Amino acid sequence: MSRGTRAFYDQLADVYPLLYDDFEAEVTSQGAAIDAVLRSWAPSTAIIADLAAGIGTQAIALARHGWTVHAFDLSPRALVRLDAWARREGVAVSTTVHDFTAGRPGGLPRDCPIAFLLLGNAVAFATDDKLSCGLRDLAADPSTAAVIGSTRVYDPDAIASAPCGACVFEHTRLRGGQSVTHRWFACGGRDYRVEVELAGTVQLSAVTMATARHRSAIAALFLGAGFTSLDWIEPNAAGFYQPMFVAR
Ligand SMILES: C[S@@+](CC[C@H](N)C(=O)[O-])C[C@H]1O[C@@H](n2cnc3c(N)ncnc32)[C@H](O)[C@@H]1O
């Protein structure tokens, strides 16, 4: 499962910015939204451990806001891009390959509160059992101030009842006069394949498995792992493109 996700995001790393209308504007607006959430929900002394940092969408944005950020991801290719971006920006963000289902990464300081990030629907890429394992480890650690995640808005029941191979998400946007289409397909109740098409030609067709969960199922996983509360923040309240949750 993890190897599939790693290969998938290694392939996606170079085209990832194309999935947004204006990636730089997205980074700026996501950074402002998460910075505000952190200021409400995490102590001002907290540092950030972005456990699914990808190419750095939120990690770089938060470093720009002055947070100390440590970035982790399964995908080495995504972290290479993040590292290069941090150097260009002149911000210090450490990068380490780590599987969040293994829990708290080693090497993080023990003497300050940590806000862990699982943004961009990262929890969907882990099965219930593996996610629970990682979350139990985070919940048990006294330095964990909060886990802040986000999920896609989709209907898990529609994905569960879709025939295998049915397209369950499609979004086309114009970039520099070229159309970019991003599609997800379903199989057996899970998202399983993504295509990115540029100007009518498929540039990437990659396979992984992602579980679409109801909010109640996400809450049950966090609370079952030992977190005492899970609050949702709607996109119109946070100014973030997905519903966010804060587990404490
Ligand atoms: C949709 S991307 C989001 C990346 C970034 N947070 C953003 O919003 O641009 C999901 C990320 O989760 C990472 N990921 C998925 N499962 C993971 C795991 N078990 N451990 C660490 N990273 C994982 C993927 O490699 C990918 O970079």
pLDDT tens across 130-172, in order?
999 999 999 999 999 999 999 988 788 888 888 888 888 888 8
Residues 118 and 43 in one domain: yes
Residues 56 and 8 in one domain: yes
Number of domains in the chain: 2
Residues 67 and 103 in one domain: yes
Residues 183 and 78 in one domain: no
pLDDT digits (tens, 9 = 90+) for 26-68: 999 999 999 999 999 999 999 999 999 999 999 999 999 999 9
Q: Is 109 helix (H, G, I), strand (E, B) or coil?
A: coil
Q: Quick check: 187 pLDDT over 90?
A: no
User: Tokens in use for 4?
Assistant: 């599939």
The protein residue with its alpha carbon nearest to ligand 1, atom 16, reads: 125
Q: How confident is the model at residue 2 (pLDDT cuts 50, 70, 90)?
A: very low
Residues 128 and 13 in one domain: yes
- Edge-first strand order for the sheet with 190-198 is 167-175, 178-187, 190-198, 201-211
- Which of 210, 238, 169 lies closest to 19, judged by CA? 169
- Measured between alpha carbons, how far is 216 from 12 in angstroms, rounded to an integer? 30
CB 32 within 8 A of CB 238: no
CB 194 within 8 A of CB 182: yes
Residues 189 and 73 in one domain: no
Domain residues for 196? Answer: 156-208
Q: Which residues line ligand 1 (CB under 6 A)?
A: 2, 5, 9, 51-54, 57-58, 73-75, 78, 99-101, 119-122, 125-126
- Contacting residues for 149 by C-beta, under 8 A, at least 6 apart: 117, 118, 119, 122, 123, 218, 244, 245, 247
Residues 100 and 145 in one domain: yes
